């Protein structure tokens, strides 16, 4: 635990600040999370859409935002899901997937094929997966629903 | 760094819960006490899965250490649930 975080927790324990104040302070300590996808894509792409590696921001989080309207969910009012996953967690998850025993690969391949994902897990090496995660940093996916359906999905890194 | 605190916040249109600060670092106490058992179970599972135990332990540790920063917020029907791991 770093010194700043410890001080905030001590202030909270001493009752000098409220829980919500401590939460705000801890949030302020976190790496800049205000960089939007637009800022990010603007930084990595020039005005003509060309890739500018000199301005590239090293992404720390994968964000998934979902906004679904009533017609999609059947619930009252809009439903929103906002998930922020550290890239480090993705890397750890990918490495954890390498623990899948070889004898399970065939079954997984078969199941993936059955669901329309023609993938052979045994051909994916850890170095490929690392590369895949690295390239996620350049990913921005925007999906808008058809007219009358206000569902939106955004996947981007920040 | 392992996760130290989880903040859970639940708000409904009729009821608002104060943020629950769950001190995850306190889990180290039972974890340390039960460490021999946990260690043996992990070794057993690794052998059963034909995976090197140290590699499995290392990967699980990596996974645990990468959890801080995770943030999940869901809003539906006026109910707001937020989970943050610090």
Residue ranges of domains in chain A: 59-157
Q: H/E/C letters for each residue in chain A?
A: CCHHHHHHHHHHHCCCCCHHHHHHHHHHHCCCCCCCHHHHHHHHECCCCCECHHHCCCCCEEEEEEEECHHHHCCCCCEEEEEEEEHHHHHHHHHHHCCCCHHHHHHHHHHHHHCCCCCCHHHCCHHHHHHHHHHHCCCEEEEECCCCCCCEEEEEEC
Interval A81-137: pLDDT, tens: 999 999 888 888 877 777 777 777 788 888 888 888 787 776 766 667 667 777 777
Interval A101-110: pLDDT, tens: 777 778 888 8
Q: Is B50 on the interface with A (CB under 8 A)?
A: yes
Give the pLDDT of residue A148.
62
CB B76 to CB A95 under 8 A?
Answer: no
What confidence category does residue A38 fall into, taking pLDDT thresholds of 50, 70 and 90? very low
Å between B36 CA and nearest CA of chain A: 23
Residues of chain B with pLDDT under 50: none
- Report if pTM > 0.90: no
Q: Is B85 on the interface with A (CB under 8 A)?
A: no
The mean of the pLDDT values for chain A is 71
């Amino acid at each position: 635990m770093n010194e700043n975080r410890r001080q905030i927790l001590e202030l909270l324990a001493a009752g000098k600040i409220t829980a919500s104040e401590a939460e705000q302070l801890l949030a302020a300590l976190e790496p800049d999370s205000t960089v939007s996808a637009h800022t990010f894509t603007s930084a990595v792409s020039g005005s003509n859409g060309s890739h500018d590696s000199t301005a590239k921001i090293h992404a720390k989080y994968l964000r998934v935002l979902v906004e679904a309207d009533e017609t999609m969910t059947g619930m009252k009012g809009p439903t929103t899901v906002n998930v922020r996953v550290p890239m480090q967690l993705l890397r750890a998850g990918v490495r954890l997937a390498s623990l899948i025993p070889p004898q399970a690969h065939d079954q997984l391949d078969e199941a993936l094929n059955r669901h329309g994902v023609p993938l052979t897990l045994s051909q994916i090496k850890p170095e490929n997966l690392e590369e895949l995660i690295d390239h996620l940093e350049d990913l921005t996916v925007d999906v808008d629903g058809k007219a009358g359906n206000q569902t939106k999905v955004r996947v981007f890194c920040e | 760094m392992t996760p130290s605190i989880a903040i859970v916040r639940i708000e409904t249109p009729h009821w608002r819960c104060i943020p629950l600060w769950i001190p995850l670092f306190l889990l180290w106490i039972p974890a340390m006490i039960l460490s021999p058992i946990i260690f043996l179970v992990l070794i057993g599972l690794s052998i059963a899965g034909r995976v090197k135990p140290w590699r499995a332990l290392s990967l699980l540790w990596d996974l645990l250490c990468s959890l801080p920063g995770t943030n999940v917020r869901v809003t539906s029907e006026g109910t707001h649930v937020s989970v943050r791991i610090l």
